[in-house]
Amino acid sequence: MKVAIIGTGFVGAAAGYAMVLRNSCRELVLIDANKAKADAEASDIQHATPVSHPVLVSSGTYADLKGAKVVIITAGVNQRPGENRLDLIGRNVDVFKSIIPNITGVEPNAVILVATNPVDILTTVTERLAQLKPGQVIGSGTTLDTARFRTLVSEHVRVDAQHVHGYVVGEHGDSEVVVWSSATVAGMPVKEFCTARNISWSDEIQRSITENIRTAAYQIIKGKGATYYGIGAVLANITERIIRDQRAILTVSATIEQYKVSLSLPRLVGGSGVIAEIGLSMNAEEEKLLQSSADILSEALSKVIM
């Protein structure tokens, strides 16, 4: 199964490398306006295949999108130190106006996976530009934030992160909502698990974890200029779920009619993209915060010139 990545910057290259290490696909094509960069990244990643998995890695052009099951978009300008994700809107909308017609003109059946920030706004922009079937355009959304949530809780309770369940919803950004009310470890609410295991827990610990989730990207960008390993692995994981029709529950981004803008909620993801939206138990305060997050995104979207 073929996968294409448009944009071979830090995120695109990391996603491609993760796919080879994870054996996410059979064929991987890298496309970039800077062809020399795409050529170099494809060669470098290809050299990892003898000690990982036999993925066919190459660079190409939009014509090579033919037959791709998933097209990942990581192209665009990066978030600078001190910038939030919504600051990138104008610059990246213009980039997408040139990219999307080239995708749909060659492979209209591909699932488009958007990773460029602000990912929620650009997912809606992509939906409008592409005019594909509902669910065929997906934003990576808060899948990385959800992974960070589970990681931080797992570190505190000293349990493998795969046995921690909880979601971050709303905007992939400053207004995201960490849904503590339905988070569990081994099927138990986090606080109850901590009590049962004699592990310290308090409102302050909860607030600290929430803050660390929200500011993780800023801290990484401050230290090394960009984030790419975490999101690269997340993009590989989402792609696998689509290619293998694994029907996973992921907090990907897509437009919700109620809000008229894309944001993240738990969704069933399979071979056709988003198959269904899954409900999530939230308390009244979390629902209020989700509405506020949607309002922020709606206001930002209203400023986009299509």
Rounded to whole angstroms, how far apart are CA atoms 143 and 141? 6
Residues 6 or more apart from 63 whose CB is under 8 A from it?
A: 106
Residue 30's nearest CA partner among 188, 232, 297 is 232
Q: Residues with catalytic annotation? A: 172
Q: Which helix (H) or strand (E) is 122 found in, with range?
A: helix 119-130
Distances, alpha carbon 105 to alpha carbons 6, 100, 249, 290, in Å: 15, 8, 30, 36
Q: Which residue has the tokens 């505190």?
A: 156
Helices 229-243/10-22 angle, 10° precision: 50
**302 burial via Cβ count (<10 Å: 0-12, 13-18, 19+):** exposed
Contact in structure between 154 and 116 (CB atoms under 8 Å): no
